[in-house]
Structure 1
Amino acid sequence: MKADPKPSDEMTPALREPARRRNQAAQALRAAKDALSRDHIMEVAERVFAEHGFLNARMQDVAREAGVSLATLYQFYPGKKELHRGVLIERHRQMVAAVIDQVQEILERPKSVPQLLWVMKAHLAFLLEHPDYLRLILQEGYAWYHAAAQPTTDEKALWEQGIEVMVQVLGWGVEHGYLVPGNGIEQARMMLTMQQTRLANWVAGGMAEDHAAVIARVMADFVRQFCRPAFAAALLTEDGVALKPAFAAEIDGLDSHG
């Protein structure tokens, strides 16, 4: 006859479960604290790199301003290059989440040129509202899409994703007769270069100019460069410098409706 299980045999799993849950809770707490520390360090590092540039910024500066030991900083990032790239990649991901996600429906099914310019406006607004990040990427000194910037695999994937979206949107505009036909990738790169120039001028001017004025100029640049002449003439002021007030108002009206 088989002996009844000992009480200790039945109790062992029950005793182990609370210990397992406590261990999981402790691990989750450590992970949450690490995530907060990493976010804080990246915020500080972004500012330090923006103010001093990559070459002059030091890990000691980041640790001091973040209020952590140098040893703690190195636990998260093995070196300055990794920290610098980490900041760029994380902020880029935030930009994608903040901008692309909210305009995904428009990107997939555009209906008008004002919608396209509203998407551009959302992207530019993010950059202008994060001036340290903007200064950081401008300091690279290369065209944003160019391989000379020596992007990491993650950065390259993010850039290519952005270019692909722009090519798709430009193709829609060409198909519907709004935009001048051309090589989609080349046009996407030209659009990035124009934006980069305007934003660099804003930074060089002390970042004092109103965001709306900067965005308005970039949108007018796009219309002049990429819209068919007759269509562009209908959207721009007589001197071709700015968008007509009614058209600009139509774009602004999408802020609340998307």
Structure 2
Amino acid sequence: MSANSSPLSRKEREKEQHRKDIMDAAMRLFAEQGFHAVSMQEIAAEAEFATGTLYKFFPGKRELFRAIMLDVIADITSELRPVWDSAEDPLEIIFKFLHARRTAFRKRYEYIRLYNMVGNGFGSSGDEIVDGLIAERRQEVEKNLKKQFTRGVEQGLFKPVNVDVLARLFEDFCQTIIRSEASRGEFDDETVSSIKDLFLNGILA
């Protein structure tokens, strides 16, 4: 809460808790049965709310999905952004970002599976707001990667490469691996080291 914001009233706190309870209940059912198999009535029952109350918060499953994903994206973003502020050498910063992002995704693998489930595994959920925000965050990551790759080239740490292409390819490479792990729910602790060996070591000067 910012210094200029007013504390929530009791009614507002209760409303926010009810919203969270509904989202948590929905995620439990989505994880167990799949997004398309769960009805709003089942979500209401799981959350112990009347169906009418549920619809006051979320007009449908798509809106519920959107709210869940926007919260998750915000949480992941807040965890990852501080990594880029380090004054360490570029390779170490990139390596730490890989660890941090993989940890963030690993904690939330069921949400990544939900995203893939809603989009039928095509890398898009079909929700313009969610997909648009994810695209913005990926652009932000690519921008930060480009900055670190540029620093690395200038310091003689990396080979003189096209940093725009490198940042885009590296982001795509990492996303593919991490999303694949999240979809399967199987995580190998050697993954980050493998990414470093397969990709980063290849551009070292």
Q: TM-score range by the shorter chain?
A: 0.7 to 0.9
CA distance in 1, matches of 2:25, 2:174: 31
1:105 and 2:81 correspond: no
Q: Report the Cα offset of residue 76 of structure 1.
A: 0.1
Structure 2 counterpart of 1:137, one-letter code? Y
Q: How does 1:133-148 map to 2 (within 5 A)?
A: 133-139=111-117, 140=119, 141-143=121-123, 148=124
Change (3 A) 1:40 1:195: same
Residue of structure 1 equivalent to 2:3 = none
Structure 2 counterpart of 1:52, one-letter code? Q
Residue of structure 2 equivalent to 1:223 = 197
1:165 and 2:131 correspond: no
Residue of structure 2 equivalent to 1:238 = none
Deviations 1:68-116 (A, max 9, x none): 111111000001111112111111111112x12442413xx55242332
CA distance in 1, matches of 2:182, 2:103: 11
Residue of structure 1 equivalent to 2:55 = 74
Structure 2 counterpart of 1:172, one-letter code? Q
Over 6 Å off, 4+ runs: none
CA distance in 1, matches of 2:171, 2:158: 13
Deviations 1:129-171 (A, max 9, x none): 223213212323123xxxx432423541343223322343244
Structure 1 counterpart of 2:31, one-letter code? A
CA distance in 1, matches of 2:193, 2:149: 15
Q: Is the 8 A contact 2:76 2:104 kept in 1?
A: yes
Q: Is the 8 A contact 2:84 2:144 kept in 1?
A: no
Q: Is the 8 A contact 2:125 2:131 kept in 1?
A: no
For these two proteins, the number of residue pairs brought into alignment is 191
Deviations 1:202-239 (A, max 9, x none): x2xxx4xxx5xx243134124312432666xxxxxxxx
C-alpha RMSD over aligned residues: 2.8
Report 1 or 2 for greater relative contact order, CA contacts < 8 Å, sequence distance ≥ 6.
2
Q: How does 1:83-122 map to 2 (within 5 A)?
A: 83-97=64-78, 99-106=79-86, 109=87, 111-122=89-100
Larger Rg: 1
1:189 and 2:189 correspond: no
CA distance in 1, matches of 2:140, 2:82: 17
Identity %: 19
Change (3 A) 1:114 1:162: same
CA distance in 2, matches of 1:47, 1:160: 28
- 5+ residue gaps, structure 1, are 1-23, 232-258
Residue of structure 1 equivalent to 2:128 = 152
TM-score by length of 2: 0.78
Residue of structure 1 equivalent to 2:25 = 44
Residue of structure 2 equivalent to 1:63 = 44
Q: Report the Cα offset of residue 175 of structure 1.
A: 4.5
Change (3 A) 1:151 1:110: farther
Residue of structure 1 equivalent to 2:110 = 132
TM-score by length of 1: 0.64
Residue of structure 2 equivalent to 1:5 = none
CA distance in 1, matches of 2:158, 2:114: 32
CA distance in 1, matches of 2:149, 2:203: 14
